[in-house]
C-alpha cells in the first residue's frame, strides 16, 4: 500500500493511520456518509423491485417494497439529524468568531 506521497507503508502503519482518521471524523461527516449509503441502497432496492416484477416474483417485490419503505424512513430520520448537526456546527462557528451575527 502507498500513502498520498507515494511512500510504501505496511499493514500496521495503514491500520494505525486508518484508526486515527476514523477517530477524527465528526458526527456530521459520519451522518453524511450514512445518508449517501442510503441512496445507494434505495437504487438497488428499486432495481430489485423492477427485476422481481419483470420475472413475476411478486413475493420478492413485496419484500423489497417493505425494505424500500424502511430505508425511506431511515433517510428522513438521518436527514433530520444532518440538519440538526449542521445547525449546531453553524452556531459553534458563530460563537468562535465574534464578528459573526446570528439571526
How far is the C-alpha of 91 from the C-alpha of 33, rounded, in Å? 22
Is residue 74 within 8 Å of 38, Cβ to Cβ?
A: yes
Phi/psi-derived region of residue 80, left when phi > 0, alpha when psi is between -120 and 50, beta in every other case: alpha
Q: Is the pLDDT of residue 103 over 90?
A: no
Domain ranges of the chain: 27-96
Q: What is the pLDDT of residue 20?
A: 85
CA atoms within 13 A on the CB side of 103: 0
Q: Is the pLDDT of residue 95 over 80?
A: no
* Section 19-47 average pLDDT: 91
Amino acid at each position: 500500500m502507498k500513502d498520498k506521497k507515494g511512500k510504501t507503508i505496511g499493514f500496521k502503519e495503514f491500520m494505525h493511520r486508518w484508526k486515527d482518521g476514523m477517530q477524527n471524523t465528526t458526527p456530521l461527516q459520519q451522518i453524511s456518509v450514512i445518508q449517501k449509503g442510503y441512496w445507494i441502497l434505495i437504487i438497488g432496492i428499486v432495481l430489485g423491485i423492477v427485476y422481481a416484477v419483470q420475472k413475476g416474483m411478486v413475493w420478492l417485490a413485496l419484500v423489497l417494497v417493505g425494505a424500500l419503505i424502511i430505508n425511506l424512513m431511515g433517510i428522513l430520520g438521518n436527514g433530520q439529524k444532518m440538519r440538526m448537526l449542521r445547525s449546531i456546527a453553524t452556531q459553534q462557528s458563530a460563537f468562535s468568531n465574534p464578528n459573526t451575527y446570528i439571526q
